[in-house]
Amino acid sequence: MSEPSAAPAALPDEAPQPVALALLACVFVVAACGLVYELSAGALSSYLLGDSVLQFSTVIGAYLFAMGVGSWLSRYLERQLPAHFLRIELLAALVGGTLPATLFLINAYAPDAFRFLLYVLVGLVGILVGLEIPLVMRILKRRVQFKALVSQVLTFDYLGALAVSIAFPLVLVPHLGMIRTGLLFGVMNALVAVWTLWLFRHELRRLRAHGLACAGTLGILAAGFALAERITTLGEEKFYQETIVFSADSPWQRIVVTHGNGGYRLFLNGNLQFAQRDEYRYHEALVHPAMAAFGAPRKVAVLGGGDGMAVREILKYPSVDSVTLVELDPQMTTLFRQHPQLTALNGNALNSPKVRIINRDAFRWLEEDDDYFDVIVVDFPDPTNFAIGKLYTESFYALLGQRLSASGYAVIQTTSPLIARRSFWTVDKPSRPLA
C-alpha cells in the first residue's frame, strides 16, 4: 500500500473552491453509502435471525466500534492521502456493496457460519468507513480553514445519513431490493474514487493502475447489479429447497412464495406461514368454532391474515354480509388478490364484494375505528419481536374487546404450547377475559 515518498502539491489558501465543494459532496455520498451498508446488515440479520432489536443493536454497536478503529488507524496514513482515500473507497465499494449478496449466499450455503461472518463483514466495512472521513478532513485542510472544516464536513456527513435513513425503507428496499440497493451504493462509492482520481490526477502516482482498479471495481458491481435477481433466487432456492415462485421486499418484511411437492408455501422473513398441503387444518380450526358459536354472524373482521385463507373460510357462511380485513402490508394483499395460483388457494376471497381491505397497523385501527363486529379473527405471526409484541398485550386485547358486539367472539391464533410455550401463554393469559 505504501508509495514512494513525495511531498504533496502545495495548495494556497485561495485554491479554487469548486475542488473543496467536490470533496464535501464526496463526504455526503460516503456517509450515505456507509449508512446503507449498516442498515443492510441490520435488516438482513433481522430477517434471517429474528429479534430485530437484538440484531440492530449488535450490528450498530459493532459497526460504530469498527468505525472508531478505522478512525484511529487513519493516523498511520501520512503520505499520498488522496491515493489512500481512493483505495479505501474502492475497498468499501466492493465489500460494502456486495455485503447483502454475500450474506444472502452465506445464509443459504453456510448457515452455521452466518453470524460469525456477519460481524466480520460489518467490522471490515466499519473500519473502511471509519478511515474515510479523517482522510477527507486532512485533504480538505489544505483548502479550508480548520474552523469551517469541521462544521462543513460534519454537516455534509449528517445530511447524507439523513437522506439515506428516509430513502432506505421507503424507496430503496421496496423498489430495488436489498441486494441491488447495496450494489447501487457500492457503485456510488466507486464513483467517489473515480472523482478523486480526476481531482488529484496531477498528484497521484501510478495513475493508470488506479484507473484500472476503478474500472474493474465498477465492472464487478455493475455485473452484480445485473445478476442480482439470479443471486437472490440462487440463495433462496438453496435455503428453501424449493422453486421460488415469488419474492419481494416490502418496508415490513421479506415475502417469499415457493412451490414444491407439497404445493405452495409462504414464508415471511424466512418463517413458514402456511403450506398448501395442510393449511386447511389451521384455518378451519381458527375460523369455524367462533363462527359456529355465534350462530349467524353478519359482520366479521380479520386482523392479519393477508393471504386471505381465513377470509375464504368466513365467506362460507351465508349470513356474512361484510368482512373487514386489516393487514399492515399492502404487498401481501395485492399478491393474494392478483397472483393466479394464490387466488386459487384462497378461492379468490380477497376480490369478493363482501370484503373490505384496510392496509393499516391493527393496533392503530382498533384505537381509531368505532365499528362493532360479531366475530373478530386475529391471525398474526408469533410474537418473536417487539414490533409484533405490541399486538399481544393487554392493551391490545382491551381494544379488541371494545370492538365486539353483544355476545361477540374473538379468536386468536396461539401457536403451539409445546413448540412455542412462551408465545402460547402470552396469548392465553390476557385473552381469557374476552371469552
Alpha-carbon distance of 99 to 105, in angstroms, equals 10
- Choice among 157, 249, 374, 379 that is catalytic: 379
Alpha-carbon distance of 199 to 241, in angstroms, equals 50
Residues composing the chain: 435
Q: Which residue has 354472524 as its cell numbers?
A: 297
Torsion of CA 390, 174, 43, 116, to 10 degrees: 150
Residue 427 is placed in which grid cell? 396469548
DSSP H or E segment with residue 355:
strand 355-358
Angle at CA of residue 36, ends 271 and 239, nearest 5°: 25
**Cβ neighbourhood burial of 54 (10 Å; 0-12, 13-18, 19+):** middle
Residue 58 to residues 37, 169, 231, Cα–Cα distance (Å) = 14, 20, 27
- Return the exposure string of 271-285: e unless at least 16 CB atoms fall within 10 Å of the residue's CB, then b: eebbebeebeebbee
Residue 253 is placed in which grid cell? 418484511
Is 112 labeled as catalytic in the residue annotation?
no
Tell me which residue of 379, 297, 314 sits closest to 352, measured CA to CA: 314
Q: 14 Cβ partners below 8 Å, 6+ apart?
A: none
Q: 230 Cβ partners below 8 Å, 6+ apart?
A: none
Tell me which residue of 317, 312, 322, 323 sits closest to 295, measured CA to CA: 317
**Cβ neighbourhood burial of 382 (10 Å; 0-12, 13-18, 19+):** buried
- Return the exposure string of 105-123: e unless at least 16 CB atoms fall within 10 Å of the residue's CB, then b: bbbbeeeeebbeebbebbb
Q: Which residues pair with 246 in a beta bridge?
A: 257
Residues labelled as active-site residues: 379
